[in-house]
């Protein structure tokens, strides 16, 4: 009986939703079938996401209302940008300004000119830690930048 009630509830939720948007529970099957943002229903949506694994798969593959433009994707974009532009970035970071360095700031979340300026200044002051030698790899460049907390300038930290 409980299984039948559960099935009816799920099917009713699927067919009664007019907007497919994720609520507080986030993306995934639960977010697709339960769009009403009440605490009880969002708890049920989160449980559905967790028990079916659809949120994890959705985030990984950009399905089930999930976006692939999350932190991992952003880290990959930053890594690729540094690999392609490392020589120019190294020079601009030593100078404390430049187009590539400002683009790197934007990739790290800096939105305003003030944040970009703070990022550039912090990157320049930590240059020796970020680029300890001429043979610093792009991976080390990015990891060292994270260790120096340069991106904190973008978030007011």
| pLDDT tens per residue across all 157 residues of the chain | 666 545 545 544 444 333 334 456 677 777 777 777 777 777 777 787 777 776 677 766 667 677 655 555 678 889 999 999 999 999 999 999 999 999 999 999 888 999 999 999 999 999 999 999 999 999 999 999 999 999 898 886 5
Give Cα separations from 7 to 13, 15, 17, 45 (angstroms): 10, 12, 16, 14
Task: Say what the pTM is.
Answer: 0.55
In this structure, the answer to whether residues 37 and 87 fall within a common structural domain is no
In this structure, the answer to whether residues 84 and 113 fall within a common structural domain is yes
Alpha-carbon distance of 45 to 35, in angstroms, equals 9
In this structure, the answer to whether residues 53 and 80 fall within a common structural domain is no
From 61, 81, 96, the end of a domain falls on: 61
CA angle at residue 25 from 23 to 30, to 5 degrees? Answer: 90
In this structure, the answer to whether residues 102 and 151 fall within a common structural domain is yes
In this structure, the answer to whether residues 95 and 133 fall within a common structural domain is yes
In this structure, the answer to whether residues 88 and 145 fall within a common structural domain is yes
């Amino acid at each position: 009986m409980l299984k039948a009630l559960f099935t009816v509830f799920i099917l009713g939720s699927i067919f009664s939703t007019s907007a497919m948007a994720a609520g507080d529970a986030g993306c995934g099957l639960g977010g697709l079938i339960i769009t009403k943002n009440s605490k009880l229903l969002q708890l049920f949506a989160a449980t559905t996401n967790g028990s079916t694994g659809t949120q994890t798969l959705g985030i990984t593959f950009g399905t089930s209302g999930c976006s692939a433009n999350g932190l991992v994707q952003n880290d990959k974009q930053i890594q690729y940008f540094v690999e392609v532009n490392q020589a120019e970035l190294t020079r601009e970071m030593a100078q404390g300004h430049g187009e590539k360095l400002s683009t790197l700031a934007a990739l790290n979340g800096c939105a305003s000119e003030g944040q970009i300026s703070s990022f550039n200044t912090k990157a320049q002051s930590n240059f020796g830690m970020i680029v300890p030698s001429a043979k610093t790899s792009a991976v080390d460049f990015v990891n060292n930048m994270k260790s120096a907390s340069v991106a904190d300038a973008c978030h007011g930290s």
